[in-house]
Amino acid sequence: MITALLACVATMSVAHRPNVVLIYIDDLGYGDVTLNGAQSGLTPNVDRLASQGLTFTDAHCSAATCTPSRYTLLTGQYAFRKKGTGVAPGDANMIIDPGTMTIASALKQAGYTTGVVGKWHLGLGEGPIDWNGLITPGPESIGFNYHFLIPATGDRVPTVFVEQGRVVNLDPSDPIRVSYKERIDESPSGKERPDLLKMGLTQGHDQTIVNGISRIGWMTGGQSARWVDEDIADTLTRKAVSFIDKNKGGPFFLYFATQDIHVPRAPNKRFVGKSGMGPRGDAIVEMDWIVGQVLKTLDKDGLTDKTLVIFTSDNGPVLDDGYADQANELLGAHKPAGPFRAGKYSRFEGGTRVPMIVRWPGFVKPGTTTDALFGQVDISRTLADLAGVKTSAQELPDSRDALAALIGKPALGREYLVEEAGALSIRVGDWKYILPGSTSDGLGPWTRVQFGKSGALYDVRIDPGETTDVAAQHPDVVARLRALIEDVKANIR
Ligand code: NG6
Ligand code: CA
């Protein structure tokens, strides 16, 4: 009797405290995976994950660029409530205040071992950062037991990894200095010596050259610590796999944020030429390999059945993002945003509607699809509640428990969802309303569209590509959605 009871309690706690692996891809568009229309064979591992899990057709990241999207993901607070959450420079200070409740600190409270591997882009330290000493506060101050980071992005200095607060492979006799204000680098810049570059530029990215690729920002020293872009996927994957192996006793939370498929797109030579679409497509193939390695590790460690895997992206797709890597020229029939308009940087659906798959054997029915409106803002509270952590209303303030939607139980999804790209738009059911102003259009930051004083209204069910503005026909809907945006901005609902 007692044994049966204990067994039952044990099953429950396993059920309610699954390991969690959150695979967060950078700049991956809705249409960049085969299951959403990309060429067959491009993403076999993502397809496998989908065949074992639940695919979302209407899931959204919280903003159309990296920093605000990640800020919201981790803190459950809309980035527009917090100053300084725009795309962060490589020497930005910690944007999330130490001690803030996050997915990591919530799960840590529940007894999880927590780790982040990959792109951070949420700032580090406090005041001028000394890259040669212990860099703190960092992820440890918001609940991560372990971190191995790209501090900002692949295209921003410093081009080094930071593990547990220290630059990896740093030779103390060759200290690192970083500046985003003045030139400190005496070696030729990307602007001066384009002939030294293996990848040309279209915009920006013309300062310090590292590994034949020029970057945003100035950096000197740290030669032995500088990464080789073509090896980043291997390095990050090794770290993620070893975190899983070490913590297989569980429960653990791994936030694995890839550099792929962000610029500079420099996949390992194993993947070069594999997509027929040049570096951007090959980076998708590399990204898919990474996913495969994670799934393989879970299988090998016997963790597949006890692990909730979430696969998604931080913002929509972009083609030319500042490097001349032929993303446009070699695109062919591929549609990075699927049927949706625009991509990264945009308030159109392509900016935030991203691929999302959830796998959790026994709880999520394999090979299913949901059209529920889902916002990544809800991931933090959903996981905290799942782990049984009590949080106050001030913590994870904009995040709601969306477990039913996350595991594909009949659920309506969010009744409204805000989409941030500087200014806001909102989805309510099939309505999509964009406030007056302008936003980026197309698959890059280069072209913009200006809205009239009523903004723009679309019915995304019949017009997923947001081609026909029906604001003039529905002034009542415009007024209602506009008021709702104002209310969300002013109040925590
Ligand atoms: C832009 C960069 C772009 C990319 C982006 C951030 C230029 C011209 N463009 O400023 O390349 O780094 O910032 O992308 O420098 S994100 O996905 O991290 O938000
Ligand atoms: Ca991004």
Residue nearest to atom 3 of ligand 1 (CA): 321
Distance in Å, CA 318 to ligand 1 centroid: 10
pLDDT confidence bin for 15, thresholds 50/70/90: low
Kindly identify the ligand whose nearest atom is closest to the C-alpha of 73: 2
Name the token pair of 434.
């964009």
Name the token pair of 30.
């809705």
Name the token pair of 32.
């960049």
The secondary structure element, H or E, covering residue 490 is helix 475-490
pLDDT number for residue 487: 96
Distance in Å, CA 318 to ligand 2 centroid: 9
Listed residues: CB within 5 A of ion ligand 2:
26-27, 66, 314-315
Does 291 score more than 90 pLDDT?
A: yes
pLDDT number for residue 410: 78
Residue 55, beta-bridge partner list: 357, 369
d(CA 135, CA 346): 34
Does 14 score more than 60 pLDDT?
A: no
Write the DSSP symbol of residue 89: P
- Give, for ligand 1, the residue of 155, 261, 313, 346 to mutate: max count of ligand atoms closer than 8 Å to Cβ: 155
pLDDT confidence bin for 4, thresholds 50/70/90: very low
In 3-state terms, the chain is what percent helix, strand and coil (to 5)?
30, 20, 50
Distance in Å, CA 475 to ligand 2 centroid: 34
d(CA 413, CA 406): 9
Q: What value does the mean pLDDT of the chain take?
A: 95
Kindly identify the ligand whose nearest atom is closest to the C-alpha of 27: 2
Closest CA relative to residue 352, chosen from 289, 286, 440, 254: 440
pLDDT confidence bin for 264, thresholds 50/70/90: very high
pLDDT in tens, 294-308: 999 999 999 999 999
Closest atom of ligand 1 relative to the 121 alpha carbon: 18
Kindly identify the ligand whose nearest atom is closest to the C-alpha of 202: 1
Angstrom distances, CA of residue 304 to CA of 226, 247, 276, 307, 477: 35, 14, 33, 5, 45
Does 185 score more than 70 pLDDT?
A: yes
Closest atom of ligand 1 relative to the 323 alpha carbon: 11
Distance in Å, CA 485 to ligand 2 centroid: 24
Ligand 1 surroundings by CB, under 6 angstroms: 26-27, 65-66, 87, 121, 153, 155, 203-205, 216, 262-263, 315, 321-322
For residue 335, the one-letter residue type is: K
